[in-house]
Structure 1
Amino acid sequence: MDLTGARWRTSTRSGANNGACVEVADNLPGRVLVRDTKDRDGGTLTFTPATWRTFVSGLRHP
């Protein structure tokens, strides 16, 4: 998978976790990418935008 152009970001809430967080790139058409901040070359999870919205919504409103 070509990740060229992916703009990675971390949550503003991840600052106190000593790097124990994930990065998300949601600027590529049709997919949302997630990776471990501590192991950026260790693999990337790929979600559809709809699946990602459902996941995030579930975190906010359990």
Structure 2
Amino acid sequence: YSSGTVNMVFTANDFEDVQNYESILRTNPLYENIQLNLSKSGDQNSKVDFSVTFDIKSS
């Protein structure tokens, strides 16, 4: 892609995995307008579902 919006949905083992992924996105200068939405249901050991949307800057 040279530019555009990306939407993805993931399942992570825990919130730390989500934070690591978010950090990687936010430190990449090619990405902007990064938004994450989290949801967790069930017990303490449940996985975390999250979606991420971000724009790729035009080069």
User: Given the two structures, how large is their TM-score scaled by the length of structure 1?
Assistant: 0.24
Structure of higher RCO (CA pairs closer than 8 Å, 6+ residues apart): 2
User: Given the two structures, how large is their TM-score scaled by the length of structure 2?
Assistant: 0.24
Answer 1 or 2: which has greater strand percent: 2
Larger Rg over CA atoms: 2
